[in-house]
Structure formats: structure tokens, C-alpha cells
Amino acid sequence: MGTGSGFGKVILFNEHFVVYGIPAIVSAIEKKTVAKVKRIPEGLIIHDDRDATPGYKEEKKEQQIDSLNRIIRTMDIDSGLEIWLGGDLRAASGVGASAASCTAIARAIADEFGLDYTDEQINNVA
């Protein structure tokens, strides 16, 4: 089983400006999402055990599956995956939860499949 993690973030200044491509001041936070990945014969099974803002996971479910499928294609994975999400980063808007989960999953996939990805490669995949 492969494991990986991805940290959350906060935008300190100009939060709404980033929507328009204007720079902001951003900082990582110590809270993180942890992913565990196990290869299975086929399919995609997700166990999301993160604490969450009510309705957040349901609202983001389709986006999460789309992101996972892109990660799987980009990493050229031809096996099914069972994924567990946990950690102390709350699944909520504004803390980088989506990016943290994608980063954690990409790292866990690389670990499970013995792929020697650099941090830069993981960031590009995620």
C-alpha cells in the first residue's frame, strides 16, 4: 500500500484577487491530507474519512472523480485503485483541500507503483 500527504494553504492577502490572476500572498499550513492507495484489479473505490464542512464532499464529488481520472491517466496507471483519505486538514473551501488531496493521492500512487517522482513531477501531476 502506498502513502502520501499534501498540505493545506491559506491566502493571507488579496484572496479574491487570485480569481483574476492578480498575485496574492499565500502560505502553507501544517494541516494535511493523508492518502493511502492500494492497487486492485479494476475500478476506483474511494473512502473519504476527512472531517468536512457539511455538504462539501457531496458538492465536490464529481470534481474529485474527474481530478482522480486525470491523475491516473497522467501517471499512466492501468490498474484499479482503492483510495483512503484522512488527515487533519478539514475538507472545506479556502484551505487548499482539493489540491492537498490531489497531491496526497499522486504521492501515494507513486509510492504504490514504485514511481520515482520528484516533488515537481508530483505537483505537475496533481
Greatest pairwise CA separation for the chain in angstroms:
46
Domains in the chain: boundaries: 2-125
CA–CA distances in Å: residue 61 to residues 47, 79, 121: 12, 21, 25
Query: Which class would CATH give 2-125?
Result: alpha beta
pLDDT at 26 over 90: no
DSSP state, 52? Answer: B
Cβ-proximal residues to 123 (8 Å cutoff; 6+ apart), any chain: 103
Q: Which residues of 81-100 are buried (b: 16+ CB within 10 A; e: fewer)?
A: bebbbbbebebbeebbbbbb
Under the banding of pLDDT at 50, 70 and 90, the label for residue 69 is very high
pTM here is 0.91
pLDDT at 16 over 90: no
pLDDT at 2 over 80: yes
